[in-house]
Amino acid sequence: MNRNWLNNRPAGIIYGMDTTLQHVPIMIVGFAAALGLTPISRRIAMKLGVVDKPTLARKIHTDHKPMMGGLAIYAAFTLSLLLFSPPQHIAELLAIIAGAAPLSLTGLLDDRYNLPWRVRLPVMFFAAAVPVFAGIQIHLFNIAWLDIPITLLWIVTLTNAANFLDNMDGLTAGLSAIAAIFFLLIAITHGQILVSLLAAAVLGSAIGFLAYNFNPASTFMGDMGALVLGYILAIVGIKLNFATQPLGVTWMIPILVLALPVFDINLVVWTRLAEGRSPAEGGKDHTSHRIMSLGFNQRQTLFILYGACTLFGTIGFLVSATPVALAWQIGIFGIILLLSLYALMVFIRQRYQKK
């Protein structure tokens, strides 16, 4: 990118502003762009035949839905960041945008042609490697040959987790927006500009798309959007940095804020392995399906999961904002609560889904 262009941008584009407010224009532009681009992506999807067909064994919708909402999400996210990002963060932001690009393209091809996991997975690892080479990585052991694989695994897992969650109107978009709200609050509280920029871009683009995706949805984001959202949220979790909290506490914060996607992918993978099925095989064994098996409708299930995401996001925020001893107790309570919910979901599977 031309550094002269960056240095000569008008003062009104971001760094003439108070740094505490840098996230505001990003959020507004992300929202407006997603809101305006989603109807266009919907028409393109219909022309290209990128539609989700109802399948009794895997789907809960009953009609064909266009699936290129991810195009609007990715475009809105990218546009908002490129327009309103301070130059000191531009290299990392470009690495994130570049890494998300092959995921978006692969998601589109998967939505259209149903690509096998052997094709999708290498692309996910490649996308995860892009920010790693730009210096974005987990520093758990401060040993590269240990920290880099952990970083790649975290990003690929969350990328898939958001895609796993995309099984109900408004679910992945809504949960991504809620997680972004808590990441934004944590970033503002701790003065972390890059995290606030990324969280604001996710929040704006996800809510703009959610206007069309909330139940009953008129369009889906497809893998094209879910993979990108999971990827970006994973990176936001990596970039969180707490000078006043020890690693023994802070590792819990991104896990708690992203509790729902982390919970659901573990629940589904271990269920399928225990039942002798491939983790890549689809089915109605997700958290949302289990809640619906109790008699709740789609909207009720959606609000239950929104509430759970808000609860764990609040726990994550409290861990980031309280003294170490109390933060540890709150975080452990959150982890125990997750394990209890896991046991409940196993019980529901056995009692109500496998009669």
pLDDT tens digits, residue range 140-189? 888 999 999 999 999 999 999 999 999 999 999 999 999 999 999 999 99
Q: Is 2 within the bounds of a domain?
A: no
Query: Residues 28-52: what's their mean pLDDT?
Result: 94
Q: What is the pLDDT of residue 87?
A: 86
Q: Is 1 within the bounds of a domain?
A: no
Q: Is 68 within the bounds of a domain?
A: yes
Between 65 and 12, the higher pLDDT residue: 65
Residue 259: CA count within 13 A, CB half-sphere: 28
Q: Give the C-alpha separation, 4 to 6, whole Å.
A: 5
Q: Is 39 within the bounds of a domain?
A: yes
First vs last Cα of the chain: how many Å apart? Answer: 59
Per-residue model confidence as pLDDT tens digits over 62-85:
567 899 999 999 999 999 999 988
Q: Is 86 within the bounds of a domain?
A: yes
pLDDT at residue 10 is higher than 60: no
Q: Give the C-alpha separation, 316 to 272, whole Å.
A: 29
What contacts 86, CB < 8 A, 6 or more positions away?
A: 14, 15, 19, 22, 193
Q: Is 6 within the bounds of a domain?
A: no
Query: Residues 261-271: what's their mean pLDDT?
Result: 96
21 pLDDT tier (thresholds 50, 70, 90): confident
Task: Give the total number of structural domains in the chain.
Answer: 1
Q: Give me the long-range contacts of 150-156 (CB less than 8 A, separation at least 24).
A: 151/238, 152/125, 152/128, 154/234, 154/237, 154/238, 155/124, 155/127, 155/128, 155/131, 155/231, 155/234, 155/235, 155/238, 156/121, 156/124, 156/125, 156/128
pLDDT at residue 23 is higher than 70: yes
Per-residue model confidence as pLDDT tens digits over 310-338:
999 999 999 999 999 999 999 999 999 99
Q: What is the pLDDT of residue 353?
A: 81
Secondary structure letter of residue 52 according to DSSP: E
Contact call for residues 342 and 270 (beta carbons, < 8 A): no
Q: What is the pLDDT of residue 89?
A: 87
Q: What is the pLDDT of residue 13?
A: 41
Contact call for residues 233 and 176 (beta carbons, < 8 A): yes
Ordered DSSP codes for 67-98: --HHHHHHHHHHHHHHHS--GGGHHHHHHHHH
Distances (CA, A) of 229 to 13, 45, 72, 346: 25, 19, 12, 27
| φ, ψ of residue 81 in degrees (nearest 5) | -70, -40
Most confident region among 49-53, 88-92, 264-268 by mean pLDDT: 264-268
Rounded to two decimals, what is the model's pTM? 0.91
The domain of 98 spans 13-353
Q: What is the pLDDT of residue 9?
A: 38
